[in-house]
Amino acid sequence: MSYHLVGDSTVAACPAHEHPMSGWGAHLQPHLDAPVANHAVGGSTTEDCLRDVWPAVVSALAPGDTVVIQFGHNDQKRPHLDARGGYAERLRRLVAEARERGAAAVLCTSVERRWFDGDRVTPTHGDYPNAVRDLARELDAPLIDLTAFTTWMYEDMGPVASASLLSHFAPGEHPNWPDGLADETHFHERGARRIAAFVARSLRAIERRDGDRPARGSELVS
């Protein structure tokens, strides 16, 4: 049994020259007993994944594997990948093809951007998180609500302290970012590790919950 991650830069392992920026997928393995293969690619949409990454992923899937899917940041920038249209259709295909191989598919809502208005985080993904939630119900697919979790995480720490979870560097603070950086989307390793720990706990809870349910690997989704 293995875990396969597909997603965008907030999931992907960053190249060495961008450290300590990191996606949460790079820190999932220490929390799980089974192997983790992180196929996430920076800048990726559901469309990019299906074209460039998914054929190799789906061919490697074995019965009992789990695919964890998180997109939305880049899909929302492309009109034809609208939340209830192209985006949802492609997520539906990812779930269907994983199940055809006997694997489970877990849908994740997008991690939220750290945009504060006073003490509250401003939602930035429009209808995309709700589209994923509704699709999970439609397909009877497990859901990890990372939009809700990261919003809570930022607000719990507050507008000042939560900056430590993202890639914020003063000029000269880090050799990889000599001019400094204030990125409200991409995580520092500190934030990525917290999200990875939450994802791992969620995956274990899903597996305990679904342990006595019939296998759904042969289900076809139209």
What was the pLDDT predicted at 108? 98
* Residue written as token pair 């990812």: 94
Q: Which pLDDT score is estimated for 220?
A: 27
Instruction: Give residue limits of the domains in the chain.
Output: 3-210
Closest CA to 201 of 23, 16, 31: 31
> CA–CA separation, 105 vs 206, rounded Å?
11
25: tokens are 């997928």
Q: What is the DSSP letter of 134?
A: H
213 CB-near residues (< 8 Å, 6+ apart)? none
**Of 135, 134, 114, which is closest to residue 125 (Cα–Cα)?**
114
The DSSP code sequence of 41-61 is: -TT--HHHIIIIIHHHHHHH-
One-letter amino acid of 48:
D
Cross-strand bridge partners of residue 21: 188
d(CA 182, CA 196): 22
Give the tokens for residue 57: 């992923």
User: Which backbone phi and psi does 14 adopt, to 5 degrees?
Assistant: -80, 150
**What pLDDT does 213 receive?**
43
* Residue 214 pLDDT: 36
- Give the distance, in angstroms, between the CA of residue 62 and the centroid of all CA atoms in the same chain: 21
- pLDDT tens, the chain, 222 aa long: 999 999 999 999 999 999 999 999 999 999 999 999 999 999 999 999 999 999 999 999 999 999 999 999 999 999 999 999 999 999 999 999 999 999 999 999 999 999 999 999 999 999 999 999 999 999 999 999 999 999 999 999 999 999 999 999 999 999 999 999 999 999 999 999 999 999 999 999 999 888 744 333 323 222
Q: What is the pLDDT of residue 77?
A: 97
Of the options 3.30.1060.10, 3.40.120.10, 3.40.50.1110, 3.40.1360.10, the CATH number for the domain spanning 3-210: 3.40.50.1110
Give the list of residues 6+ apart from residue 29 with CB closer than 8 angstroms, or none. Answer: 35, 36
Under DSSP, is residue 7 helix (H, G, I), strand (E, B) or coil? strand
So what's the pLDDT on residue 209?
85
Whether residue 58 contacts residue 51, with contact meaning beta carbons closer than 8 Å, is answered with no
Q: How many residues does the chain have?
A: 222
